[in-house]
Amino acid sequence: MTASVTKITLNVSTADEQIARFAACAIVLAVIESGIPSPIPGFKPGLANIVTLIALQRLGWSAAAWVSMLRILGSSLVLGGVFSPGFALSLAGGVASVLALALVQYLPQRYFGLVTWSLCSALAHLVGQLLIARLWLIPHNGILVLIPLLLAMAIIFGVVNGLIATHLLRTYPAVDTTQ
């Protein structure tokens, strides 16, 4: 018997490669972040969202949406939480966050930058997660007691992540890969 050879040619664009690289970085950060102890179960600082902000700034909203959704699916696969309640919370927060970024990217950049984008994204993520938690996982008003603490943490980490993304973009300018 002879071995059969199947040759598949994929046409991968530079943008696709960049999205894959950003998504891989975001997945690594999400997996690392999952090992950090948290005072509130399930709460994370959202370090992977820094990568999404950089993708938004460099490649646009569509690429940022891909990076965010690939990160949610990829990290859930790696951590073994696909289709779990945590996955549902992450997906709801991610979708809300990406939708918020779709809106805030059109704010005048003279007054609103990555820190504002990050803050709006973090707050939208919190709203998305709270909606799923209240409507599906914990159908009780007791969850509302956590809102002030979660809101404060979302504001703090939204600002911090925006500042980190801004610093990284200034320190490491985009490299032209078309040559």
Q: What is the pLDDT of residues 35-70, one digit of tens each?
A: 888 877 767 899 999 999 999 999 999 999 999 999
Judged against a pLDDT cut of 60, whether residue 178 lies above it is answered with: no
How far apart (Å, rounded) are the C-alpha atoms in residues 116 and 108?
11
How far apart (Å, rounded) are the C-alpha atoms in residues 134 and 129?
9
Place of tokens 């939480």: 81
Sequence-ordered list of residues with C-beta below 8 angstroms from that of 50, at least 6 positions apart, any chain: 29, 161, 164, 165, 168
The proportion of the chain whose per-residue pLDDT surpasses 70, expressed as a percent, equals 94
Which structure tokens are listed for 73? 């699916």
- pTM of the predicted structure, to 2 decimals: 0.88
Query: Is the CB of residue 101 less than 8 Å from the CB of residue 64?
Result: yes
Mind listing the pLDDT tens digit for each residue in 73-103?
A: 999 999 998 989 989 999 999 999 999 999 9
Place of tokens 């999205």: 19
